[in-house]
Amino acid sequence: MTIAAPRSDGAEGPEIDPSVPTIDTVRSLAARYSNWGRWGADDELGTLNHITPSDIVAASGLVHDGRVFSLAIPVDEHGPQSGGFGRFNPIHLMIRDGNAAATGTVVRDFYGGRDRWIRGTDDLLILPLQSGTQWDALAHIVFDDHIYNGYHATDVGSKGAIRNDIAKTRDRIVGRGVLLDIPRSKGRPWLDPGEPIHAADLDACAEAQDVAIGRGDIVLIRTGQMAQCRADGAWGNYAGGAAPGLALDTVGWIHDRDIAAIATDTWGAEVLPNETPDVFQPLHIVLIVHMGLLIGEIFDLEGLAADCADDGRYEFLFTAPPLPITGGVGSPVNPIAIK
């Protein structure tokens, strides 16, 4: 693989050693695969624009058996976070519980002393939006002071994103889903931490699974890392540590196929340690900021993958609408695959 890497000022420069990609590589990829302006100067949807109504109709035709798979990990304190980037696992608290119903104190404390037979319970979440199964909004990553489509970083202020927030996608993440089960296609239970997934691996997997991938698809890429954590009985360094994931050369693969969104069963989608020693999560820069691609993370693909292996069908109707959080730079989601 050779990635030409002109300097960021666009001037001609020496060839970069492709074995050591750098920020220049990232800039080159960003420039080559940028979708800024492609759907208008006001666009806030990015590659979700690839999905057309007829794609959705076609995707609904993939429902043959009525089996439904939830791809979310449980929302609770046992999630994978360990404090990095200020992220913690969700905190669930009861505002009013069944004990209060049983003791009758709910009448005293919440109903103004007036008993009208019913007893309700209520609860509350303190929820970092990047803590579990989630979509990164296009406002989630900033590079060179800008977010997708050229909006300035300051459009994501103390009160949230006024551009590219997750709420914009509220009715857009419905379409054909395709699972690429990379380790199974290689006859392994999971990829190793640090193992890259190259474009060729994606192609080989699709071929092995006999599934074609094209415009408007939402591609779920299984690395097996979540299965490995379960086998270990612990998340370990899942959140930010070494992980299998996408390599830099998948950018073109994603772009050329007009893929609408991707998601993986890892913390950060990309191979970690990253291929670029000087750049952290380079694909987030290229894919989110420049391509405008929605990335899903911490998807639990185990049950779905087992089913696909069983019946040989790796395509399905996929719905994963975010919560329409005004200004949100991400959203928890319970993605659903329907076969």
Among positions 36-95, residues that touch a copy of itself (CB under 8 A) are 52-57, 60-61, 63-70, 72-78, 83, 85-88, 90-95
* Member of 80, 193, 196, 322 binding a copy of itself (CB under 8 A): 322
Q: Which 5-24 positions form the footprint of a copy of itself (CB under 8 A)?
A: 23
Dump the DSSP string for 239-268.
TTSSB-EE-TTHHHHHHHTT--EEEESSSS
Which stretch, 139-147, 204-212, 233-241, 291-299, contacts a copy of itself (CB under 8 A)?
139-147
Residues 6+ away with beta carbon under 8 Å from 8:
23, 24, 27
* Member of 47, 81, 135, 140 binding a copy of itself (CB under 8 A): 140
Beta-bridge mates of residue 318: 175, 337
CB of 218 to a copy of itself, least distance (A): 13
Report the C-alpha dihedral over residues 56, 62, 67, 69, rounded to 10 degrees: -50
Nearer to a copy of itself, 262 or 329 (CB): 329
Interatomic CA distance for residues 196 and 121, integer angstroms: 47
Q: Which 253-292 positions form the footprint of a copy of itself (CB under 8 A)?
A: 278-282, 284-285
Nearer to a copy of itself, 37 or 83 (CB): 83
User: Where does residue 239 rank: exposed (0-12), middle (13-18), buried (19+ CB within 10 A)?
Assistant: buried
Q: Which 170-189 positions form the footprint of a copy of itself (CB under 8 A)?
A: 170-172, 174
Nearer to a copy of itself, 247 or 279 (CB): 279
CA end-to-end span of the chain: 37
Nearer to a copy of itself, 211 or 323 (CB): 323
Q: Residues 290, 195, 147, CA angle at the centre, nearest 5°?
A: 15
CB of 152 to a copy of itself, least distance (A): 7
Q: Does 119 bind a copy of itself (CB under 8 A)?
A: yes
Interatomic CA distance for residues 284 and 293, integer angstroms: 9
Cβ neighbours around 56 below 10 Å, total: 15
Nearer to a copy of itself, 1 or 102 (CB): 102
Nearer to a copy of itself, 68 or 306 (CB): 68
* Member of 1, 102, 234, 306 binding a copy of itself (CB under 8 A): 102
Interatomic CA distance for residues 262 and 258, integer angstroms: 11
Question: Can you state the angle between helices 225-232 and 302-311, rounded to 10 degrees?
Answer: 120
Interatomic CA distance for residues 104 and 189, integer angstroms: 52
Q: Does 306 bind a copy of itself (CB under 8 A)?
A: no
Which stretch, 135-143, 186-194, 207-215, 242-250, contacts a copy of itself (CB under 8 A)?
135-143
Interatomic CA distance for residues 221 and 261, integer angstroms: 11
Nearer to a copy of itself, 17 or 123 (CB): 123
Binding mask 220-259 for a copy of itself (x = CB under 8 A): ----------------------------------------
